[in-house]
Amino acid sequence: MEQIQLKANALSFLEDKIKLVKKGDEAIYLVGPIKLPINLYGETVEFKWYSWLKSENVTEDFQQVIDQLSSANLAEYQQSSVLVYGDFEYGEDALIRMHSICHTGDIFGSKRCDCGFQLKQSLKMIAEHGTGALFYLANHEGRGIGLFSKAMAYILQENGYDTVEANEGLGFPDDSRNYDDAIEVLKALRTKPVTLITNNPKKLKALKAAGASVSGRTPLWGDISEYNEKYLQTKVKKSGHMA
């Protein structure tokens, strides 16, 4: 492996911003905070951004971690990240959103779902509240089935399947998302309880069961259109979502 010996001061800049979060016998390397000004409905709001990387190699020798980056081919995989607002570590009351990546909704602004709206709206809720964090979970595409399978699920939906039946028709459970790593990152950033922005009581239960300190839930609806009405109804009828 090629060794890149960073200049001592460059390494120290990075070392200050990398944290080893242990998860069983694995490591989560959390890097940040990094200032990230975000355009929210025409206003610039400054968030603190962190990304993380899971690894079987557990070390606090961060030069070693850096040495492995260029050969790890990380662009071929998805990495998750979190946007933090306000005094997240010590602030009394914090709102969090566990947002599942949605390539079509978040990036293209697709109206087939309400993800793009929820992403922006939850950032706005967090900023207005004063303290909080949005976790952007990159391995959650299509409730955990991946982008390619989601394209197929959409074809089934165009042929009369609902969103739950489509995932199941392709051999997936309706929802295969896992929040374990995000919860470890949450615990590394804040130990006090949080309020979860979600319409899905199951998500609240799952997070509590996985050890997150969640005190309650606040809903998020809106952006209902002719394109996503059926999808949103299915979430209510079949997946237990409620306002």
Is residue 102 a contact point for Zn ion (CB under 5 A)? yes
Tell whether omega for the bond before 201 is within 30 degrees of 0, i.e. cis.
Answer: no
Is residue 113 a contact point for Zn ion (CB under 5 A)? yes
- Rounded Cα distance, 40 and 28, in Å: 30
Torsion angles phi and psi, residue 139, rounded to 5: -105, 25
Q: Which of 177, 181, 190, 217 is catalytic?
A: 177
Does the annotation mark 177 as catalytic?
Answer: yes
Cβ closest to Zn ion, residue 65 vs residue 113: 113
Residues numbered 21 to 40 that lie near Zn ion (CB under 5 A) are: none
Any bridge partners for residue 136, and if so which?
81, 99
C-beta of 135: minimal distance to Zn ion in Å?
A: 16
Buried b / exposed e across 90-119, counting CB within 10 Å, b at 16+?
ebeebbbbbbbbbebbbeeebbbbbbbbbb
C-beta of 98: minimal distance to Zn ion in Å?
A: 14
| SS3 label, residue 90 | coil
Binder of Zn ion out of 53, 94, 95, 115 (CB under 5 A): 115
Cβ closest to Zn ion, residue 81 vs residue 104: 104
Cβ closest to Zn ion, residue 94 vs residue 145: 145
Integer-rounded Cα Rg, in Å, for the chain is 19
Which two structure tokens, joined as six digits, stand for 42? 């025409």
Does the annotation mark 97 as catalytic?
Answer: no
Q: Which of 67, 174, 175, 223 is catalytic?
A: 175
C-beta of 61: minimal distance to Zn ion in Å?
A: 40
- Rounded Cα distance, 169 and 172, in Å: 7
Select from 193, 142, 196, 187 the least CA-distant residue to 168.
142
Is residue 105 a contact point for Zn ion (CB under 5 A)? yes
C-beta of 224: minimal distance to Zn ion in Å?
A: 14
Contact residues for Zn ion (CB under 5 A)?
102, 105, 113, 115
Q: Kindly list the catalytic residues.
A: 175, 177
